[in-house]
Amino acid sequence: ALFKGHRYATVVINADTQQVLWVGEGNSRQAIRPFFEWLGPEACAQIEAVAMDMNTAMDLEVQHHCTQARVVYDLFHVVAKFGREVIDRVRVDQSNQLRHDKPARKVVKRSRWLLLRNRDNLKAEQAVKLEELLQANQPLMTVYLLKDQLKEL
């Protein structure tokens, strides 16, 4: 992000040398395309893999210009997407199943940040609450463990 709000820059780095190759304002396909035009088709053909966040525009441009390159998403965005799409879905489903038990439902509904945070970043009282939640709810325990295993890949 360039500023507060939603103005972004795209930075292209050579992973082997850590050298900045190109910086462009924006993260749309039109903003990224000049890099590939500058690089040229011969250099694009030599690219084996591209690591990136889960930006669809960058993904599409890489596929268009570097057809043989493998796309590798960065761990932070993969784990964040897992949290938003899997952990949150299981948490909401579990909360809905506990409609008859209001105190238990409240605990599950309010557990979002406990489940998404790294265990190492929890305060002692939060760690205890997380352990109690996971012991009481098998589906939440399963997705929480899957999140930890995903980080190990």
Same domain flag for 146 and 80 = yes
One-letter-per-residue 3-state SS of 39-107: HCHHHHHHCCEEEECCCHHHHHHHHHHCCCCEEEECHHHHHHHHHHHHHHHHHHHHHHHCCCCHHHHHH
- pTM for this model (two decimals): 0.79
Of residues 2 and 105, the one with the higher pLDDT is 105
| pLDDT for 7 | 86
What distance in Å separates the CA atoms of residue 106 and residue 136, rounded to the nearest whole number? 13
Residue 102 has pLDDT above 90, yes or no: yes
Helix, strand, coil: what percent of the chain each, to 5?
Answer: 60, 10, 25
Q: Domain range holding 37?
A: 9-73
The total domain count for the chain is 2
pLDDT at 33 over 90: yes
* 80 and 68 in a common domain: no
Among the three residues 73, 96, 121, which one is the final residue of a domain in this structure? 73
Per DSSP bridges, beta strands 20-25 and 49-52 are unpaired
Residue 51 inside a domain? The answer is yes
Residues 98 and 39 reside in one and the same domain = no
Cα–Cα distance for residue pair 102/79, rounded to 1 Å: 30
Q: Are residues 67 and 80 in the same domain?
A: no
> Is residue 14 domain-shared with residue 28, that is, in the same domain?
yes
Residue 29 sits in the same domain as residue 82? no
Bridge-partner residues for 70, per DSSP? 49
101 with 114, same domain: the answer is yes
Helix (H, G, I), strand (E, B) or coil at 27: coil
Asked if residue 3 belongs to a domain, the reply is no
> Is there a single domain that holds both residue 27 and residue 64?
yes
HSE, CB side, 13 Å, CA atoms: give it for residue 141: 8
pLDDT at 54: 92
85 and 27 fall within a common domain: no
CA 60 to chain centre: 18
Q: Does residue 61 fall inside a structural domain?
A: yes
**Are 34 and 62 part of one and the same domain?**
yes
